[in-house]
Amino acid sequence: MLARVLLIAVAFFGFSWIFSYAPPVRSADLTDRYLLPFAAPNRSLAPGGQPNVLFIVVDDLNVAIGAYLDSASRRQYMSARTPNIDRLAAEGIRFDRAYAQNPVCGPSRASFLSGLRPPSTDIYDNRTHPRDKLGEELRLLPEHFHDHGYFTARVGKVGHNTLEDAISWDVSMFALSREPGARFHFPGYLPGVDLSEMRDNTWIEGTEHGLSRAEVLKTVGRRAGLPLSWRATKESPRMTPDGTTVTRVINLLAQNRDKPFFIATGFHKPHQPWVGPAEFFKLHPIDRIQLPQVSANDTDDIPEPAGQVQKDDATHTVRQKKQAIGAYHAMVSMIDSYVGQLLYALEMLELSDSTIVVFTSDHGFQLNEHGGLWRKSVQFEETTRVPLIVRLPGGNYAGGIASGFVELVDLYPTLVDLARLPAPAHALEGTSFAPLLSDPERDWKSAAFSEFKREGYHGRTIRERRYRFTEWTPEEGTEGEILLELYNLESDPLEFNNLALDDANRAVVEDMSKRLKLGWQGALPEPLSK
């Protein structure tokens, strides 16, 4: 009886008190766990029953993590320390060729939440709410689960910040210091400056070193993007915005363990600025940081819309570049520790055998590749290729590696299939990759597609095993010719040489252009294309 009373009390009040007294995550042990005092009864997955879904989406994460180091195109990179993500990959299925539909937060998230590609969503910026384009009748991914009896909740950034779709969720929460109405502050800085002497809690409203986004951009003469900045703080990992996201998600897991749930966890890091606890910075000392391989005059053959090095980025010293990469990896390791806490909570709540875990990122991130490119908003592999890991209940098919092409737009139909839900009323433009979970090596899609708009040009990309091809088409009102990119990913995996400029490759360009125009339907595996 006493145990039952305690269980109800904790479920009602949440786990926040546990976390307030938990020991800090130690740099020597990233898997340090917040001890839960009990194990809740399991809602076991009955035959033919519906699994839970824990959906974890990270912001700006590329594939320079441990689980992906054997991936050919990333062999030049050292990885962030990610023991928990690596464990998740070992217990699930890792997708080596997963791609975002757009290398920008808003369009990418609108795509995988709707199951529609950018031409259908017509969202290419971070300012447009999905409902403004898609209407109230279209059922987004979590809303479809809600329609079929699931409790749905999100904490953190799942849609794009203030563009979260409230009607999709029973519970919709930001992380601490990211509540509605709070001003998003950046630490006061100049590009490439180590901010270690700044005070802690720079995310909180009213911080003396806080600057608005507009103020930051004005300071460095930018129209978009963010200057590089980093700072190691003394704060506890539990008290970062993403740390509080973990606390709130575990509360929700505990309180809703007796019903089918779709709970989305949106981590803001490793998005800039790279500000977080010093213990994670210590894992990536500057003397161990490697700069990416570069090619002389790499950007000379790149069309102007395809990649523009910011002026302030070009002034960084070698040391500053290494500091920036180390800071990025520190944020990745921090996120990894939070993933470990979520996995442990599933174990302690006895939910692992009834919960699908999905881990991915909205897009990748450049770390000084291609003549000094940072951030995203380009079509190179570093920004469009993403980590994608799916762990099935009970560890079914653990350790699988799928080499076929999958896309983030495929997540909607895949999760619908795995949960045994009927298809939504609107036609989805993704393809369920559920068959790959049991047979990762089977023939699958022959290509992936992405697109991006910049400076009056619309860049449309197709990637297949041998080539990446992009057409930059002038938009209405823009004068200019179609600009082309062609890279042989087998002989030139780092995309140093644009082959489209060589007349000897005209036949390849024409063939890839035809495949690009044929679109995603033409890349489906044969049984699905009929």
The pLDDT value recorded for residue 186 is 39
The pLDDT value recorded for residue 448 is 97
Highest mean pLDDT among 224-233, 382-391, 520-529: 382-391
The pLDDT value recorded for residue 162 is 62
What is the mean predicted confidence (pLDDT) over 118-147?
A: 89
Banded pLDDT at 87 (limits 50, 70, 90): very high
Whether the CB-CB separation of 50 and 260 falls below 8 Å is answered with: yes
> Percentage of residues in the chain with pLDDT exceeding 70?
77
Whether the CB-CB separation of 202 and 186 falls below 8 Å is answered with: yes
Q: Where are the domains of the chain?
A: 2-180+228-447
Question: Tens digits of per-residue pLDDT, 471-516?
Answer: 999 988 777 899 999 999 999 988 999 999 899 999 999 999 999 9
CA distance 460 to 452: 7
What is the mean predicted confidence (pLDDT) over 333-341?
A: 97
Hey, which residues does 468 pair with through a beta bridge? Answer: 463, 487
Highest mean pLDDT among 66-70, 300-304, 392-396, 516-520: 516-520
The pLDDT value recorded for residue 321 is 87
Highest mean pLDDT among 18-32, 200-214, 219-233, 376-390: 376-390
Cβ neighbours of residue 75 under 8 Å, at least 6 residues apart? 69
Count Cβ atoms below 10 Å from residue 317 Cβ, excluding itself. 9
Q: In what order do the strands lie in the sheet with 448-454?
A: 448-454, 457-463, 467-474, 483-488
Question: Tens digits of per-residue pLDDT, 267-289?
Answer: 999 988 788 899 999 999 998 89
Terminal CA-CA length for the chain: 59
Cβ neighbours of residue 8 under 8 Å, at least 6 residues apart? none
> Beta strand pairing status for 210-211 and 230-233?
unpaired
Domain 2-180+228-447 has CATH 3.40.50.2000: no
Q: Report the chain's mean pLDDT, rounded to a whole number.
A: 80
Question: Tens digits of per-residue pLDDT, 38-48?
Answer: 333 444 554 44
Banded pLDDT at 266 (limits 50, 70, 90): very high
CA distance 35 to 77: 35
Q: Which amino acid belongs to residue 429?
A: E
State the pTM of this model: 0.86
Which helix H or strand E contains 467, and what residues bound it?
strand 467-474
